Amino acid sequence: MAFVTPTAEQLGLYLDLPEINGDRADLLLQQAVALAETVVRPLPDRATAVVLSVAGRAYVNPQQVSYETIGPMSVQRPQGSGGLYLTKADKSALKALAGRGGAFTVDPTPADADPSPTYPVDADLLVDDGWLEPGWGYP
């Protein structure tokens, strides 16, 4: 299944806004998709959450205001909480959704390795020709 760009209505639901500027939302969603494609291309079908998150940040705080006071109310936002950008978590999520990144293992065992045990030594098969010494794993 291919990635489908979220709609302005979905962005409004994501942000819990009763009304949303459709043209502005569409622009931000298109830009968020373009930004996400710099990390993973083509976008996986489940990348909608990341695209909505990126567009939502830019929609609610386009000027990157970090501190605002209106009358008795004041709001302080984290630095870099506005504008259109990808966080480190956004990039990691996109890579994970695309099946990239993460831990992996490498088995260095050759394909033709013999699985039979090589230790302990069977004393009945051992020929003592004078070279075997006690304490070295031999009887």
Confidence (pTM): 0.61
Provide the 3-class DSSP secondary structure of residue 124. helix
Contacts of 10 (CB under 8 A, 6+ apart): 48, 52
DSSP string, 1-37: ----PPPHHHHHHHHT-SS--HHHHHHHHHHHHHHHT
Pick the more confident residue, 96 or 123: 96
- Express each pLDDT in 102-133 by its tens digit: 677 888 888 888 777 666 666 666 666 666 66
**45, containing H or E segment:** none
Between CA 2 and CA 50 the distance in angstroms is 15
Identify the CA nearest to 100 among candidates 43, 51, 28: 43
Which residue do the tokens 């890579």 mark? 95
pLDDT (tens digit, 9 = 90+) per residue, 8-18?
A: 999 999 998 99
pLDDT tens figures, 41-93: 899 988 999 999 999 988 887 766 666 778 888 777 666 555 688 889 999 99
As a whole number of angstroms, the distance between CA 12 and CA 28 comes to 12
76: Cα separation from own chain's centroid:
28
Contact 60, 68 (CB under 8 A): no
